[in-house]
Amino acid sequence: MTRSAAPGLLIALAVLVAGLLLAFTVGRYPVGLADVFELIVAKLTGRAPNLPAALENVIWQVRGPRVVAAALVGAALAVAGTAFQGLFRNPLVSPDILGASSGAALGAVIGIFFSLGVFAIQALAFAGGLVAVVAVYLIGSAVRARDPVLVLVLTGVVIGSLLGAGVGLVKYLADPYNQLPAMTFWLLGSLAATGVADLVPLFGPVALGTAVLVALRWRMNVMSLPDEEARALGVPTGVLRIAIVAAATLVTSASVATAGIIGWVGLVVPHIARTLVGPDFARLIPAAALLGGGFLLVIDTLARTMAPIEIPLGILTALVGTPFFIWLLASVSRTWS
């Protein structure tokens, strides 16, 4: 780790810690930091916490799983966006634009429609996201154009629209009294119904996919070069590209299966992380994970506290991401490295 990267990583860690403290303490049921630490220490040491039963339930059963899920989902989406941007050498790429989120959403909605279990829904989400990204990449590579970046983005928009139509068809066929309201609210992005049982199927794929990307961090630096130069350095670009796409799609699909579609995190956060620590993936992936987790923790806290009813996460992230994307479009002609 270079000396210049340390301040950026410390800032990213501070954002995550601040998001955790904010998420645990802010809400309709007031919770003090001392209460949170008391419960954590009690659970770790195996003694009974000196807290009211209602407060313990709020921290451990209600707010705790939601906080952990928000941190995991935010980190997963940020890491996936970082991997996709580096792989395709495109600052405008994210899991949303490449169709991974839409494909995962279609797979998960089909699973909800057939009342499948969590693991089956997650498997369908992964399959849908992987098929979508592969289709976008193959079509974008087959089209010969002066601006391959634009072709890739437009292909993602087209495939995403097609998958969105599939989601709309499933919603049209769904039970309007039970399935349809759940699908609609879920597609806007929410962690309201997250419980302890949801953490295991979320943590496993996110940890696995992130571990693969971390293990490939040095090769991902080489993949930022043109394919001919990367192959000249002994990097098997074809196999490596498949591994990166599969790992990034896995974490994206797990996040979508748990929290629905939460856009813009995979686009905005990698650029902020790149500003803090530079383009080296050995530093960029951890920084993006920390920032993504902290960012979504703040967004989720706002979603459940700023209005009498809970605001879907996708709405709030769009309010942040849209102006950022406009700025990015205006500045994309500058050097990106």
Q: What is the CATH number of domain 5-331?
A: 1.10.3470.10
**pLDDT at residue 149 in the model:** 62
Q: Which one of 100-109, 173-182, 242-251, 287-296 scores highest in mean pLDDT? A: 287-296
Share of the chain above pLDDT 70, in %: 95
At 242 the pLDDT is 85
The average pLDDT across 7-26 equals: 95
Distance, C-alpha 23 to centroid of its chain: 18
CA dihedral for 97, 99, 102, 105, sign (positive or negative): negative
Q: Is the dihedral of CA 316, 319, 322, 324 positive or negative?
A: negative
Which ranges of the chain does DSSP label H, i.e. alpha helix? 5-25, 33-45, 53-57, 64-88, 100-113, 118-142, 148-173, 179-187, 199-215, 217-223, 227-232, 237-259, 265-277, 281-305, 313-331
Query: Alpha-carbon distance 14 to 6, whole Å?
Result: 12
Mean pLDDT of 321-334: 73
pLDDT band at residue 4 using 50, 70 and 90 as cut-offs: low
CB within 8 Å of 60: residues ≥ 6 apart: 39, 43
103-117, 140-154, 213-227: least confident range: 140-154
Q: Where are the domains of the chain?
A: 5-331
- Is residue 335's pLDDT more than 50? no
Residue 211, both tokens: 């571990």
The residue type found at 68 is V
Closest residue by Cα to residue 202 from 262, 266, 252, 130: 252
**Rounded Cα gap, residues 4 and 1, in angstroms:** 8
Could you give the C-alpha distances from 68 to 11, 164, 294, in angstroms and in order?
A: 20, 29, 11
pLDDT at 201: 86
**226-251 pLDDT, tens digit each:** 778 888 888 888 889 889 988 998 99
Predicted pLDDT of residue 333 = 52
What pLDDT, on the 0 to 100 scale, is given for residue 118? 75
pLDDT > 80? residue 319 = yes
Which pLDDT score, from 0 to 100, does residue 66 have? 95
For residue 262, pLDDT beyond 90: yes
Q: Which of 75, 97, 12 is nearest to 258 (CA)?
A: 75
Asked whether 270 and 78 are in contact (CB, 8 A), the reply is yes
Confidence tier at 266 by pLDDT (50, 70, 90): very high
Q: Residue 2: its pLDDT value, please?
A: 47
Across the chain, what does the average pLDDT equal?
A: 87
Angle subtended by helix axes 237-259 and 64-88, to nearest 10: 150
pLDDT at 218 over 60: yes
Mean pLDDT of the region 166-172: 95
The pLDDT of residue 154: 85
pLDDT at 48: 82
Is residue 337 over pLDDT 80?
no
Please give the structure tokens belonging to residue 286: 């951890």
Residue entry with tokens 């072709």? 151
d(CA 21, CA 24): 5
Tens digit of each residue's pLDDT (9 = 90 or more) over 28-62: 888 888 998 888 888 888 888 888 888 888 888 88
pLDDT band at 210 (very low <50, low <70, confident <90, very high): very high
Mean pLDDT of 290-306: 95
Tokens standing for residue 67: 């906080």
DSSP 311: P
State yes or no: pLDDT of 17 exceeds 90: yes
Residue type, 45: T
Tens digits of per-residue pLDDT, 68-99? 999 999 999 999 999 999 888 877 788 877 78
What pLDDT does residue 195 have? 87
Closest of 164, 165, 163, 98 to residue 137, by C-alpha: 98
